[in-house]
Amino acid sequence: MSIGADLTAARRRAGLTVTQVSQQTRIRETIICAIEHDDYRACGGDFYARGHIRAIAHTVGADPQPLIAEYDAAHLPSHSVTVADLLEPARPIRIRERHRLSQGAGLAIALVAVVGLLAYHLFAASGHVPGGHAAAGIGLHRAVHRQDRGAAAATVPAATIRSPARYGHRVTIHLSAIEDCWVEFTTPAGVYLSQSVVAGGTSRRWVFGHAVDMQLGNPGGIRLTVDGRHPLPPGTAHPVTLRLGMGGKISS
Fold of 3-75: 434 Repressor (Amino-terminal Domain) (1.10.260)
Is the pLDDT at 201 greater than 50? The verdict is yes
Of the listed ranges 14-18, 93-97, 160-164, the one predicted with least confidence = 160-164
Distance CA 235, CA 250 (A): 18
Find which of 1-5, 140-144, 150-154, 238-242 is predicted with most confidence, using mean pLDDT.
1-5
DSSP bridge pairs for 242:
214
Find which of 52-61, 158-167, 232-241 is predicted with most confidence, using mean pLDDT.
52-61
Identity of the amino acid at 117 = L
Is the pLDDT at 124 greater than 50? The verdict is yes
DSSP state for residue 68 in the 8-state scheme? H
Give the model's pLDDT for residue 133.
44
Mean pLDDT of the chain: 76
Fold of 171-251: Immunoglobulin-like (2.60.40)
Cβ neighbours around 172 below 10 Å, total: 14
Q: In the predicted model, what is the mean pLDDT of residues 52-70?
A: 95
Identity of the amino acid at 195 = Q
- What is the domain partition of the chain in residue ranges? 3-75, 97-158, 171-251
Give the model's pLDDT for residue 120.
64
Stated pTM of the model: 0.38
**167 — pLDDT class (breaks 50, 70, 90):** very low
**13 — pLDDT class (breaks 50, 70, 90):** very high
Residue 166 contacts residue 179 (beta carbons within 8 Å): no
